[in-house]
A and B are shown apart, each in its own frame.
Chain A
Amino acid sequence: MSTSKALALVTLFCAAMDSASATPWEWTAREVRVLKSFSLSALGDPPPSPGNRWADDPGAATLGEAIFFDPSFSANDQLSCASCHAPDLDFADGLTRAQGLGAGNRNTPTITGTAWNTWFYWDGRRDSLWAQALIPFEAHNEMGSDRLSVVRNVASSHTLTANYEAVFGPLPEFDDIAVARASPLADAALRDSWYRLNSEQQRRINTVFVNIGKAVAAWERTQHFKPSAFDSYIDSLDALGETENTPEISDDIKAGARLFMDADTTQCLQCHNGPTLTNGGFHNIGTGNFDGDMLDFGRVFGLQAVLMDEFNCLGPYSDAAPEDCTALRFLNRGHHIPLEGAFKTPSLRGVDGTAPYFHDGSAATLKDVMQHYNRPPDTAKVGEHELNALELTDTDIESLVAFMQALTKAATD
């Protein structure tokens, strides 16, 4: 090839590239509407937590933050809430399943954005952040403590006592209680101690224990979603699509977003929608279980548990008026919705930082997640899963992963 011909080809090639990069990505009107519905700017403030009158109290949040990071609340003085919800791991732990004093049964979710949750735990067995925050203190495979030790731990610290009393008023005395430890949930000896207490003593312990949970929840509520690079992109769109103010993002991300919204190609939008990118519901997606034949029934037991929980919104330790307990008031107890093997839909915000994925931690990467949806198992171990096989190409999967990564990448990066 002569030099002049080669230069001409290079010129043509560059012109073609310029033309391609200068062509704005075209979204349909519906796609723009759906994209706008994802925007974090559409989310607003966290919804009220009617059962926790201190949910937005700064003093309660200060106390809650101190407790969240304090290992003295665990049985071995080495584990805190932050052991599994580590700030440098996006408030998750990077493990397949949680590891406290023992191995947990499920993957650790992040606490970021949980102020917008209706249900807590993968099976929704708690209906508030404060009620959820109480369980790890007493779980034998988490912090392994007991509620009497937890409240005594506050009483034994001048700083914690002062911070507690600044929010909740005087800390009750526990001198009339001879035993050091007691819990209705722990081993037989601690349960025996608990049930030898009279009802007033139990209520006194529970009240402080619950306030500790409400303080932790007040702090966790401040851990909001952070605007992502994709938020900046969709906020710049007008009704017709990209504008002169639209920041550059790769076509791969846009292709992934298009696939995500395309109900004929994927089913993503059914469960991952709105600014939180979750519908907050429970779905059986055919994910597995941990130990051989052990089964995890998910929501079908979580639903029963939340109804029996003395710390639920309608319980004696809730600050809510009954009519404000909408999650329980309108709770569908299984009327035409599948509950067996169903687990809560997680948010996709920040998802790239919280591997591994699914309730069982069985997907190591986002690509593995998409492979699961593309080729779901024929049967679920529990119940029936809701997935239909997709026909995504490797390129499609890479685009969808790029889109989810853009939901994580900070807007200012």
Chain B
Amino acid sequence: MSHIFATRRHLVRLLALPAVGAGLSLASNAESNPLFTAVSERGHFEVSAAPQDQLLPIGTLHTWTVQLLDVSGRPLGNAALAVGGGMAAHGHGLPTRPVVTPTDRVGEFRVEGIKFNMAGSWTLRFGIEHGTTRDIAEITFDVDF
């Protein structure tokens, strides 16, 4: 199962937080929801992903909004998105299977059914398909009490 984490990690920018790398403990003090962005592995796309709440909860289902962008930073229309993830340190995936639904906005998706069932470093992995181009992006972040 480790292959889901076998690809190279990409820089994750944590926006709307007072500092990078402090994870949820800082997210709980943020005035707006955390926003994570990542460039896909082969550089074809950019992903921004935000949970619906300021806190990343442990043990409850929650929803994220994911925006796909092209290399110029424009919303990516007619793209398909798949979402997975897990905990690399523990070698397991998400406890749930999220459901991805396009919204009315170009390149935007609602991802329901995400659940983190323990504290630690979690990764969300986005599989993106646009025409004949496929690429993968990851974000990794800490979830804590």
Binding site for B on A (CB under 8 A): 30, 33-34, 36-37, 263, 269-271, 273-274, 279-281, 326, 329-333, 335-338, 386
In the complex with contacts A34-B145, A280-B117, A281-B117, A273-B59 CB distance below 8 A: yes
Contact, CB under 8 Å: A336 / B58: no
Q: Are A337 and B98 in contact (CB under 8 A)?
A: no
Q: Let me know if B95 and A337 touch, CB within 8 A.
A: yes
Judged by DSSP, the binding face of B is loop
Query: Do the beta carbons of A336 and B92 come within 8 Å of each other?
Result: yes
Docked Cα-Cα span, A297 to B98, in Å, equals 25
Interface residues of B in 1-32 (CB under 8 A from A): 1, 4, 25
B58 contacts A273, C-beta separation under 8 Å: yes
Q: Is the CB of A330 within 8 A of B117?
A: no
Within 8 Å CB of A33, what residues of B?
25, 144-145
CB pair B92 A271 closer than 8 Å: no
- Contact status of A337 and B92, CB under 8 A, knowing A34-B145, A271-B118, A332-B97: yes
* Bound CA–CA A280/B116 (angstroms): 11
Residue of A nearest to B115 (CB): A330
- The main secondary structure of chain A at its interface with chain B is loop
B residues contacting the other copy or chain, number (CB 8 A)? 26
B119 at the interface (CB under 8 A from A): yes
Contacts of A338 in B (CB 8 A): 92
Contact A333-B97, Cβ < 8 Å, known A33-B145, A273-B118, A338-B92: yes
Q: 10 shortest A-B CB distances, which residue pairs?
A: A336-B93, A330-B113, A279-B117, A330-B96, A270-B118, A37-B145, A332-B97, A34-B145, A274-B59, A336-B1
In whole angstroms, how far apart are the Cα atoms of A144 and B86 in the complex?
43
CB distance from A40 to the nearest CB of B (A): 15
Shortest CB distance B125–A (Å): 10
The answer to whether the Cβ of B71 comes within 8 Å of any Cβ in the partner chain is no
User: Are B84 and A335 within 8 A (Cβ)?
Assistant: yes
CA distance A222 to B37 in the complex (A): 45
Provide the residues of chain A in CB contact with B94, threshold 8 Å: 332, 335-337
